[in-house]
Amino acid sequence: MQPRDTLTKSQDQRLLQVRLACPDITRACDLARAFAALVRHRGGCLLLEWIRQAEQEAPKPMRGFAGFLRQALDAVTASLTLPWSSGIVEGHVDRVKTLKRAMYGRASFELLRTRILTQL
């Protein structure tokens, strides 16, 4: 998934051989690169078109991914267009869940609460 201009000559040759040998890999690679560009350049307005292409032309696993994106279309489009992110909140939730799992059955709620509050 590296940009083509960053590949070594041997990597580029190998990629070309694989793409010629398997049309499914070629299509999946092209769609994956297009999706990466959507994410990198926040192209939420182009997402629906990408989903349509993937559902029609992609190998089965990628069609499944496109179907999943269609189910959550509003949320995915918002994440690709709006400047806000819930990444920080998700990080805190993950940290709290990790602490909770580590302390399960070993300590009281008060100790869990204290550990969470002291690590903020």
pLDDT in tens, 68-84: 999 999 989 998 998 88
Looking at the fold, whether 31 and 48 belong to one and the same domain comes out as yes
Q: Which residues have C-beta within 8 Å of that of residue 29, sequence separation ≥ 6?
A: 19
Looking at the fold, whether 69 and 96 belong to one and the same domain comes out as no
Where in the sequence is the domain holding 101, given as residue range(s)?
87-118
Looking at the fold, whether 10 and 48 belong to one and the same domain comes out as yes
User: Residue 107 gets which letter from DSSP?
Assistant: S
Q: Tokens at residue 15, please?
A: 């990629």
Give the pLDDT confidence score for residue 35 in this predicted structure. 93
- What's the rounded mean pLDDT across residues 4-20? 88
Looking at the fold, whether 61 and 100 belong to one and the same domain comes out as no
Q: Which residues have C-beta within 8 Å of that of residue 79, sequence separation ≥ 6?
A: 44, 85
How many domains is the chain built from?
2
In this model, does residue 4 exceed pLDDT 80?
no
Q: Under a CB-based contact definition with an 8 Å cutoff, are residues 54 and 73 in contact?
A: no
Looking at the fold, whether 13 and 68 belong to one and the same domain comes out as yes
Chain-centre distance for alpha carbon 42: 13
Give the pLDDT confidence score for residue 104 in this predicted structure. 87
Looking at the fold, whether 22 and 66 belong to one and the same domain comes out as yes
Looking at the fold, whether 71 and 13 belong to one and the same domain comes out as yes
E-state strands within 13-97: none
